[in-house]
Amino acid sequence: MIVDCAIYADGHRMEGPEDFSDALEEARGAGGFVWIGLHEPSEKEFDLVTEEFGLHPLAVEDALKAHQRPKLEVYDDSLFLVLKPVVYEPDSDQVSTGEVMVFIGDCFVVTVRHGEGSPLGAVRKRLEQEPELLGKGPTSVLYAISDAVVDHYLDVATELQTDLEELEAEVFSPDGGGSRHTASRIYTFKRQVLEFRRATGPLTLPLTRLVGSGPSGGTVPFVNEKARPFFRDVSDHLARVNESVEGLDRLVSDILSAHLAQMSVRQNDDMRKISAWAAMAAVPTMIAGIYGMNFDHMPELHWLWSYPAVIGAMVALEILLYRLFKHRGWL
């Protein structure tokens, strides 16, 4: 569906026509650009946009099917950028990703959003309050969307760091994270970090190209040369995010290893205790077994105090073994 359609000239908004097929012509006549926002459009709806703005069929296919990695594609008549906004749900501790596709031409911007994350209405309103930035043309929209997505990455990274600290405190608590669900929680957290990493990592190369310091050098078409410092700022923020994600990934791996080591030590302690109690139970069992063999010629069978003496010997040996194991820390 078409969420919004407007023409921008000299940094100010002009309402787009009812039929957006005339929007591009009006934008060119006003010396500005048209920005059309779509949310999960159908193929029929997008065919109209494709025909009007001459979008490349490969980019159109990616925009309709979604499930793309962050990337930047340059075509003859447009620039195509894929971003993956991230949403963190603290109630369920889940990281979910959406997709935002941005088509940039000489005087048009088409944004296609999939998923509920990162609505672009707030970005549009913020830009409309900054006429000087909006006056730079379609590049300003590309920068504003990239900046909003990457800044939200920083917020998600902070929330994940908080959750990781809570998980770390649980694992290194006095009971050593003894809950049977601790390992499952650690593994689930690692999956969330991996999902986050899939959104942030591949975006490094597109932003590097927008800054103009990519392997091929030069500039990217349809991007204002004066916008490089803005994209450099976004790239710096993304570098911070990627460093945070790397740190989270390493820490959660270390926490999982520490938890497994604690579980192994605890199992060894349990086995030592079981072995100690088994050894203590073996002594009276052995003595009772000897006196239960029913031979005629056994010592002290007819002695009046033989029964209490044997019981006393068992108790004495049990006390001796108990103190020995206690001293060694087995009990």
pLDDT digits (tens, 9 = 90+) for 100-118: 999 998 889 999 998 866 5
Taking only the tens place, the pLDDT of each residue in 250-296 is: 888 888 887 777 777 776 776 777 777 777 777 777 767 666 666 56
Least confident interval from 79-88, 161-170, 208-217: 208-217
- Percent of the chain past pLDDT 70, that is, above it, reads 85
pLDDT: which is higher, 158 or 25 = 158
Q: Rounded to whole angstroms, what are the CA distances from 285 to 73, 76, 281, 320?
A: 80, 90, 6, 16
What is the pLDDT, as a whole number, of residue 223?
86
CATH of the structural domain 2-263, one choice from 3.20.20.70, 2.30.40.10, 1.10.3720.10, 3.30.460.20: 3.30.460.20
What's residue 180's pLDDT? 63
- pLDDT category, 50, cuts 50, 70, 90? confident
Confidence of residue 150 (pLDDT cuts 50, 70, 90): very high
With 0.85 as the threshold, say if the pTM is over it: no
Distance CA 40, CA 223 (A): 26
pLDDT tens per residue across span 230-245: 999 999 999 999 999 9
Q: How far apart are CA 25 and CA 23, in angstroms?
A: 6
Q: What is the arithmetic mean of pLDDT over 163-172?
A: 83
The answer to whether residue 95 scores a pLDDT higher than 80 is yes
pLDDT at 163: 86
What percentage of the chain has pLDDT greater than the value 90? 23
> Which is more confidently placed, 7 or 331?
7
pLDDT of 295 reads 59
* Ranges of each domain in the chain: 2-263, 267-327
- Between 12 and 294, whose confidence is greater? 12
Q: What is the CATH number of domain 267-327?
A: 1.20.58.340
Write the pLDDT tens digit of every residue in 177-199. Answer: 555 677 788 888 888 899 999 99
Query: What is the tens place of the pLDDT at every residue in 245-254?
Result: 999 888 888 8
> Residue 104 forms beta bridges with which residues?
79, 109
pLDDT at residue 218, rounded to an integer: 55
